[in-house]
């Protein structure tokens, strides 16, 4: 027969050791994926300050091929959906128009800037990608003189095909001290017909374009003008099919881009200071800063000092959209000699992004030495394209024809457009007829006056929806039939109740 007896101390100690060894075995087990990191400790190691702990670095794997494949599948699926599924393609049209209106102009400006700067970057790497004109600075850099479209958006969130499409624009006119004529027009994507343009406060309206004259003030305050553009109903349709296209689409909506244009004339003047020294003194001190510092001239420490005897020109007054520039070929100081200059209109990246416009037409440009005496005169032999000190009307016509053909016609050419519109440089020559004696420097001034038409634009997107959607019409019709049947059934049921 079985019986129970108390274990002695030796048996209890043996059982305790066995249980402890089993516990250590189970707690020391690790998952298979971490066994490589687990280093078996053969002998206990005592850590000291000179012996750092062992660290384990897990190497991250790069983007797997499956992720890239999924990304391209999603993009391809979106492309197929936007191209062949009518219901989805309408939403794609709305998104495309919205993105084009918000970012299309900036994208074009940046792309044109790279196209223009790439040849220069190859020839002169140290001067590459200068997003501003390095040869001219404004006299009042914190003030603007011109027109800026601050807002342009549709009146409603969406329009139907049987509604007039209306957009509202707000135009700011800054620092105008004289009268300024504005030519305002609107255009729409995939539409060549008439668009109504209305000055809301003045209650004036016209087709396609309207003109108004803004009177300036001595203080140069900012004035505001509100404009409404109206596209007639039925002009922008959801399904823009060709006359021979007999396919039936089921698009529910579409998106189009609408543009507000404001043309106005800009008159700007830029002055270049020419420092003239005695021939012997220039030989002694050379070009650059030494002779300027000897005469205690602050131009060396000002923003006009470009460096090593190169001096920037200064556009007079508040900033304009495209400031004219005068650049002396070579370094200063000058002495009695003939030198070449470059006069230009460079619509660089920062100007285009800041003002949101382009040069539309050049009207006038000249180069005038300032002062009573003939200290400096124009060297007509070195001024091709000029009649005296004025740019010839023949050359101006060639420039304007190039802008019209390559920038605004059906045969657009981006590279030629940039050369005619954004990168205008004219060469001319000057004669320095007098020079001071001793170590003094005389300051002569050379100015350029320019008149050009500037076009500022702003885009907006509108959404057009169909008047009736057959899918929703059928659903609504079936729902009405079910609702009517339910009402009749309820009425008949109530009539059969006992209390009736």
pLDDT of 337: 93
Task: Report residue 159 CA to chain centroid gap.
Answer: 28
H or E segment to which residue 16 belongs: helix 9-27
The secondary structure of 141-208 as a DSSP string is EEEE-EEEEEEEEESSS-EETTS-EEEEEEEEEES--S-EEEEEEEEETTB-S--EEEETTTTEEEES
Length of the chain: 500
Could you tell me which residue, 3 or 444, shows the higher pLDDT?
Answer: 444
Q: What Å distances lie between residue 70 and 67, 77, 201, CA to CA? A: 5, 10, 55
Nearest Cα neighbor of 223 from 263, 180, 266, 262 is 180
Read off the pLDDT band of 354 (50, 70, 90): confident
pLDDT at 15 over 60: yes
Could you tell me which residue, 415 or 30, shows the higher pLDDT?
Answer: 415
pLDDT of 54: 53
**Contact predicate 171/229, CB 8 Å:** no
- Exposed, middle or buried by CB within 10 Å (0-12, 13-18, 19+), for 343? buried
Dihedral of the alpha carbons of 163, 165, 170, 176, in degrees to the nearest 10: -120
CATH of domain 143-235+252-263+460-467: 2.60.40
Distance between CA atoms of 397 and 362, rounded to whole angstroms? 8
Read off the pLDDT band of 79 (50, 70, 90): low
pLDDT tens figures, 84-117: 566 566 677 777 777 777 776 666 666 766 666 6
* Of 259-273, 333-347, 418-432, 470-484, minimum mean pLDDT range: 470-484
pLDDT tens figures, 134-152: 889 999 988 999 999 999 9
Distance between CA atoms of 311 and 308, rounded to whole angstroms? 9
pLDDT at 499 over 50: no
Read off the pLDDT band of 66 (50, 70, 90): confident
Q: Tokens in use for 88?
A: 């989805």
pLDDT of 476: 42
Q: Tokens in use for 413?
A: 């050419």
**Contact predicate 130/306, CB 8 Å:** no
Q: Tokens in use for 157?
A: 């969130």
Distance between CA atoms of 37 and 30, rounded to whole angstroms? 10
pLDDT tens figures, 145-198: 999 999 999 999 989 988 999 999 999 999 887 889 999 999 998 888 999 999
Instruction: Give start and end residues of each alpha helix (H) in 85-161.
Output: 86-123
Backbone φ, ψ for residue 122 (5° rounding): -70, -40
Nearest Cα neighbor of 136 from 398, 345, 353 is 345
Whole-prediction pTM = 0.72
Nearest Cα neighbor of 422 from 33, 113, 12, 78 is 113
Average pLDDT, the chain: 79
pLDDT tens figures, 326-342: 999 999 999 999 999 99
pLDDT tens figures, 432-460: 999 988 888 899 999 999 999 999 999 99
* Of 29-33, 290-294, 358-362, 431-435, minimum mean pLDDT range: 29-33
pLDDT of 419: 77
Domain ranges across the chain: 106-126+265-454, 143-235+252-263+460-467
* Of 265-279, 348-362, 390-404, minimum mean pLDDT range: 348-362
**Contact predicate 254/94, CB 8 Å:** yes
Distance between CA atoms of 139 and 143, rounded to whole angstroms? 9
């Amino acid at each position: 027969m079985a019986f129970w007896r108390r274990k002695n101390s030796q048996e209890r100690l043996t059982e305790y050791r066995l249980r402890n060894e089993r516990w250590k075995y189970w707690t020391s087990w690790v998952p298979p994926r971490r066994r490589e990191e687990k280093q078996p400790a053969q002998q206990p190691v005592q850590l000291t300050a000179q012996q750092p702990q062992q660290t384990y670095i897990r190497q991250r794997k790069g983007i797997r091929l499956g992720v890239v494949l999924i990304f391209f599948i999603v993009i391809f699926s979106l492309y197929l959906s936007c191209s062949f599924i009518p219901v989805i393609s309408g939403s794609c049209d709305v998104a495309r128009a919205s993105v084009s209106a918000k970012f299309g102009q900036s994208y074009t400006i940046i792309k044109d800037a790279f196209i223009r700067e790439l040849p220069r970057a190859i020839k002169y790497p140290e001067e590459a990608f200068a997003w501003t004109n390095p040869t001219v600075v404004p006299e009042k850099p914190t003030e603007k003189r011109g027109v800026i479209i601050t807002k342009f958006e549709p009146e409603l969130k969406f329009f139907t095909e049987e509604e007039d499409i209306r957009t509202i624009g707000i135009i700011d006119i800054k620092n105008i001290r004289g009268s300024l004529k504005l030519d305002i027009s609107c255009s729409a994507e995939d539409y060549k017909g008439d668009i109504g343009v209305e000055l809301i406060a003045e209650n004036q309206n016209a087709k396609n374009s309207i003109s108004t004259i803004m009177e300036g003030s001595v203080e140069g305050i900012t004035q505001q003008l509100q404009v409404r553009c109206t596209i007639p109903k039925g002009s922008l349709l959801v399904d823009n099919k060709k006359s021979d296209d007999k396919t039936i689409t089921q698009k529910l909506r579409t998106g189009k881009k609408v543009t507000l244009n404001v043309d106005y004339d800009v008159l700007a003047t830029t002055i270049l200071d020419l420092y003239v020294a005695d021939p012997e003194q220039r030989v002694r001190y050379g070009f650059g800063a030494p002779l300027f510092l000897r005469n205690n001239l602050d131009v060396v420490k000002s923003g006009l000092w470009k460096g090593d005897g190169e001096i920037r020109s200064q556009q007079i007054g508040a900033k304009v959209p495209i400031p004219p520039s005068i650049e002396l070929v070579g370094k200063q100081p000058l002495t009695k000699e003939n030198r070449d200059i470059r006069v230009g209109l460079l619509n660089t990246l920062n100007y285009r992004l800041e003002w949101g416009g382009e040069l539309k037409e050049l009207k006038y440009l000249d180069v005038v030495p300032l002062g009573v005496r003939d200290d400096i005169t124009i060297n007509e032999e070195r001024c091709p394209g000029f009649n005296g000190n004025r740019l010839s009307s023949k050359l101006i016509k060639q420039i304007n024809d190039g802008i019209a053909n390559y920038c605004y016609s059906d045969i657009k050419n981006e590279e030629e457009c940039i050369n005619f519109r954004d990168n205008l440089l004219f060469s001319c020559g000057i004669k320095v007829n007098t020079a001071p004696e001793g170590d003094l420097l005389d300051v002569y001034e050379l100015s350029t006056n320019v008149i050009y038409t500037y076009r500022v634009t702003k885009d907006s997107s509108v959404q057009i929806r169909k008047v009736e959607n057959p899918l929703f019409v059928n659903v609504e019709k079936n729902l009405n039939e079910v609702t009517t049947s339910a009402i009749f059934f309820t009425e008949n049921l109530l009539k059969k109740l006992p209390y009736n």
